[in-house]
Structure 1
Amino acid sequence: MKKIVIPFTIIALLAACAAQPTAESTESTEPTYEAHKQASWLLGRWENKSDQGNLSEVWEKKNDSIYIGASYFEIGGDTVFSESIELIEKEGVLNYVVTIADAGQGPTAFKLTKSSDSELVFENPKHDFPQKITYNHKGDSVIAVISGKQQGKPHQETFAMKKVN
């Protein structure tokens, strides 16, 4: 009987010790969402009204890890282009996920490759066009640039907008 009790006692002690939480495991491992904090200047409504039409981009904070955006272009009151955007931070990586309305495609993700207090650069080298999306912020203005190769040639489009709220 003694031969059976001692091994079971040792196994029970080892199991009890292994089940005890350590100081390391009880510490908070809540994500800090630092990349989202650096992109917070994007929140709000941005517009560019011109003779060609009205460009608007609106950003809201959905929660600590997701900002949602919508971009649309209107001519004479008709929306001729629209897309929905999400800035999603997962495991410390910020992704710009865009879905173009009526394009018949699913969402396309661009990974944050460069960031500062005034610039965000997202890239997806496998996408047809654009492969790069850049936002530059200065005061009440933002310049969005989409760039890359289109039909084998370098191409770039620039969209300047002012903050309206």
Structure 2
Amino acid sequence: MIGAAPDPGAPLPSWMAGCWIEDRAPRWTEECWTIPRAGSMLGSNRAGNGDRLTMWEAMQILPDPDGRPVFWASPRGAPRSAFPMASAKEGEIAFANPAHDYPQRIRYWREGELLKAEVSLADGSKPMRWSFRRMK
């Protein structure tokens, strides 16, 4: 068994599920998340410039032994880094790992039909932001 069942008080962010795109031609970023199932969500991200792939990442959201969601990131196949949930409210979730170099905070939220994402240092400085619309 990979982990304990999630605590009902810390649900996985089902509102992130689906495939999303930010297109700022010629640059683009795509991110896909599975629906929560068996206490997990699996994600993938790829970004490019025109026909050239510039970045890719495998991601997971899994519960820790206490049932709190943890965001696991593996950019370009690097060893996974853990970002425990720092806060959550309806339509928003943030994960943080102050010991990580960059990013230290990963935040997702919904604004209507858009999925917003931000990575930054723990204090919110040096942010990078995305505004995704659902892929057709």
TM-score for both structures, normalised by structure 1: 0.71
Instruction: Tell me the CA shift for residue 32 of structure 1.
Output: 5.3
Aligned match of 2:54: 80
**Structure 1 range deviating more: 78-87 or 48-57:** 48-57
1:33 CA displacement: 4.5
Structure 1: any 5+ residue segments left out of the alignment?
Answer: 1-29
Q: Which amino acid aligns with 1:117?
A: E
Indicate the SS of the match to 2:90: coil
CA distance in 1, matches of 2:14, 2:57: 20
Q: How does 1:31-110 map to 2 (within 5 A)?
A: 31=5, 33-34=7-8, 35-37=10-12, 39-61=13-35, 63-90=37-64, 91-101=66-76, 105-110=78-83
Contact 1:33 1:65 in 2 (8 A): no
Distance in structure 1 (CA, Å) of the matches to 2:6 and 2:81? 25
- Considering fraction of residues, name the structure with more helix: 1
Q: Could you tell me which amino acid in structure 1 is paired with residue 127 of structure 2?
A: Q
Q: Which has the higher contact order (CA 8 A, sep 6+)?
A: 2
The unaligned stretches of length 5 or more in structure 2 are none
From the CA coordinates, give the structure whose radius of gyration is larger. Answer: 1
- Considering only aligned residues, what root-mean-square deviation do their CA atoms show, in Å? 2.0
Map 1:9-24 → 2, pairs under 5 A: none
Identity of aligned residues (%): 20
8 Å Cα contact 1:144-1:160 kept in structure 2: yes
2-side partners of 1:33 and 1:163: how far apart?
A: 29
- 1:138 Cα deviation from its structure 2 partner: 2.0
